[in-house]
Structure 1
Amino acid sequence: MNIQIGDVGQVIQLATAPVFLLAGVSILLIVLTNRLGRIIDQMRLLEERAVKCVDAECVAALSNLHRRSSLINIAIATSTLCGLLVCMVIAMLFLGDATGLPLVHLIAGSFIGAMLALTTSFISLMCEISLAYRLMREQQLLALAMCAGRPT
């Protein structure tokens, strides 16, 4: 194993882009966990309300929050998978250089897997945001209809 300083420098340059990707995935995970935390808080409030009085509106809201939390959980799992695959790419870059093992195909496969996981995460996040928006809009229209039906 004869590692040259120039070789290590090139590997560090190659590993820099995945490190920035890893930083972006970390920020995405923070956003996702914050969204999940808000959903959990809303579920707790509705569960307390459901204990006192179970009504169709409360059950529907809990069901919708459950769907949203499922989408966020998928996004968190796939983002985490992406982060793990990016870490593997970085480790394999150094391992391949240090040992001379031909890891090019494994590195490429891991990177492609990371991009697929990240894409799945973004799609799940977009679906959750779309669902949240649609539910919010339905509540707004219901509130407007109730206000329009009241005499002033």
Structure 2
Amino acid sequence: MHQVSLSELIPTLQVAVGPVVLISGVGLLLLSMTNRLGRTIDRARHLVREMRGLQPEDREAVVRQLRILTKRATIIRRAIFLASLSVLFAAMLVILLFLFSLLHFEVAWLVGILFILCMLCLIASLIFFIRDINQALIAVRLDLGNIQD
């Protein structure tokens, strides 16, 4: 078996830096998403406690807010899942780049597929993230409507 020299491995290291940076960036995005999920859940719990003391006619506004929060939690959960999947594909990509370099395999199509899957999951995750932000704005408009009434 051919021993891989450091000079042969350096180009692989250079190529693998891209997915590693992607993992770091998506990790920060995941941190933001999990914080949003936590705040959404905390807000829902607060509203449920608040609703117990309200009169039936005042509960409808809280129920509308809870519906939006439930929808937001579902959207954020999907965004987190897809971002996590993106990181998983990026990590697999780094491992495969090293294995292919060490074993002298030439399977560019597999590297390409993993990269495309990584990017598609990231794009879908960002779309869900934007949907959550839009839902948050809808909830704020409901709150402002209740204040103006």
**TM-score computed with the length of structure 1 as normaliser:** 0.90
Aligned to 2:113: 109
Aligned to 1:75: 79
| Identity over aligned pairs, percent | 30
Task: List 4+ stretches of structure 1 deviating above 4 A.
Answer: none
CA distance in 1, matches of 2:101, 2:28: 29
Structure 1 gap ranges (5+): 147-152
The two structures, once aligned, show a CA RMSD in angstroms of 1.3
CA distance in 2, matches of 1:134, 1:60: 11
In structure 2, what residue type is equivalent to 1:73? R
Judged with a 3 Å threshold, the aligned counterparts in structure 2 of structure 1 residues 62 and 141 are, in CA distance, closer, same or farther, namely: closer
Aligned to 1:40: 41
**TM-score computed with the length of structure 2 as normaliser:** 0.91
Aligned to 1:137: 141
Judged with a 3 Å threshold, the aligned counterparts in structure 2 of structure 1 residues 65 and 138 are, in CA distance, closer, same or farther, namely: same
In structure 2, what residue type is equivalent to 1:135? A
Aligned length: 145
C-alpha contact 1:33 1:76 (8 A) present in aligned 2: yes
Structure 2 gap ranges (5+): none
CA distance in 2, matches of 1:52, 1:81: 42
